[in-house]
Structure 1
Amino acid sequence: MSDSTVRSEALRVGVLISGSGTTLVNFLKEREAGRLPIEIPIVIADRECGGISKCIQAGLACEVLPRRTFENTAEFSRAIFDRMRAAKVDLVTLAGFLARVDVPDDFHQRVMNIHPSLIPAFCGKGMYGHFVHEAVIARGCKVSGCTVHFADSEYDHGPIISQKCVPVIDGDTPDILAARVFEAECAAYPEAIRRFAAARR
């Protein structure tokens, strides 16, 4: 199989980031290892963040669209999805993206998110990152995990694609639990993207 054939079969994935870009880096590692046949023609950040430098290092196109420069969510969302259409992406992935977006009809079940809990527990507005892990530990949960789902226009809502569980161990700190959950995320998100790509064939 030629390189051009491999490229033509690759899923075109747009990535939205707000933070350090660790999920994006995981995508790139999986792609480099031959386990995730994707192209990333566009990355959009909603703020200045560490993930932008990772995009530059990887040779990816990254545009910063600060949410505060838009009057409302509708205008912000329109700007994002106009760029996704122009880049001809097959799938949009929220990779630690903290802003809410309105998903247009032509991207129905073409926007994917990962959340660091077992939805419907510990999700919704304000529940992200360490806030989730702190709440899990405070509640005394014995398991946590991550959820990959198709995103709609609500926080952490939409059809669930997959979930992976991890134990919550006595003495866990939010940092320790976050690392364990992220390890599960590193497997779950690429797996969900592969399933999406397979379903389109």
Structure 2
Amino acid sequence: MTSTPSGPPRRPISPIRLGVCVSGGGTTLQNLLDRIEAGTLDARVVQVVASRGGIAAIARAEKVGLPVAVADSARQRTDLEAFSASVFDPIRESGADLVLLAGFLALVKIPDDFKGRVVNIHPGLIPSFCGKGYYGDRVHQAALDYGVKISGCTVHFASDEYDEGPIILQKTVPVLEGDDARALAARVFEAEREALPEAVALYASGRLRIEGRRVRIVSPGDEPDV
């Protein structure tokens, strides 16, 4: 059963403390770090969690002195509760305000204290080409095979199911004649580089309201709830 996220921030958070979950090369993590260093994202990465050992994202994080934890991947298929605890326990200890699934390919069960505080980015326009088995170039190849004329990315609050949860924002890119999955992936990633930091900033500013299946973005002048 899908768990509906709830409980967005009631007051602005500055700088917002991020827990970032990774499964691959860490390019999304690097984009966040670059923007933080440039001063265009008021945030601090306080914990990185890798879905397994030996991935490039771990070396990328350790190079800049970020704390890294490796999830108990042996439990991923046999004990989802234990696997999820190995993901969220170090994030909880770090005091993170928001968790980003930054190319994190493993399904997790979100603890009650993190509901409405976990955000995922998907390299497609949900509800198209999403769900179990749709990740990386598989998403882009499916879009090409279907013959769509636009693709893009989706940032959404995560739930206990793949690519579910209320959508925060989406960005589109054209699908061009002659595209292959790699070319389309590169264009979509440029949209992702803008979309995820934008969503983080909206969350940190207290401007997101979850209303059932929808996320309402309130204007900057609206007072946060008390």
Tell me the TM-score normalized by structure 1. 0.93
Any residues of structure 2 matched to 1:58-69 within 5 Å, and which? 58-69=64-75
Partner of 1:18: 23
Deviations 1:141-164 (A, max 9, x none): 100000000001000000000000
Matched, 1:118 2:125: yes
Q: Is the 8 A contact 2:132 2:162 kept in 1?
A: yes
**Counterpart position of 1:57:** 63
1:166 match: secondary structure: strand
Alpha-carbon distance, 1:79 to partner: 2.2
Query: Identity of counterpart residues, as a percentage?
Result: 51
- Which structure has more relative contact order (CA 8 Å, sep 6+)? It is 2
Contact 2:150 2:172 in 1 (8 A): yes
Does residue 149 of structure 2 align to residue 142 of structure 1?
yes
The whole-number CA distance in structure 2 between the counterparts of 1:132 and 1:164 is 15
Give per-residue Cα distances to partners, 1:59-101, cap 9 Å, x unaligned.
1111112422454111111222222111111000001100000
Residues 65-84 of structure 1 correspond to what in structure 2 (within 5 A)? Answer: 65-69=71-75, 71-84=78-91
Instruction: Give the AA of the match of 1:58.
Output: V
What is the one-letter code of the residue matched to 2:68? C
Name the structure 2 match of 1:156: 163
Is contact 1:44-1:64 (8 Å) kept? yes
1:101 is aligned, of 96, 100, 108, to 108
Distance in 2 of aligned mates of 1:64 and 1:9: 27
Q: Which runs of 5+ in 1 are unaligned?
A: 1-7
In structure 1, C-alpha distance between the alignment counterparts of 2:145 and 2:205, rounded to whole Å: 40
Provide the rounded CA distance (Å) in 1 between the counterparts of 2:14 and 2:174: 37
Taking the aligned partners of 1:86 and 1:117, their CA distance within structure 2 comes to: 32
Shift of residue 194, structure 1, vs aligned partner: 0.1
Structure 2 residue 40 is the aligned partner of structure 1 residue 28: no
C-alpha RMSD over aligned residues:
1.3
For structure 2, the residue ranges without an aligned partner over 5 or more in a row are: 1-12, 208-223
Segments of 4+ in structure 1 off by > 4 A? none
CA deviation string 1:121-152 (max 9, x = no partner) = 00000100000001111111100000000001
The 10-residue stretch of structure 1 (24-33 or 64-73) with the greater mean CA deviation from structure 2: 64-73
Worse-matched range after superposition: 128-137 or 47-56: 47-56
1:187 match: secondary structure: helix
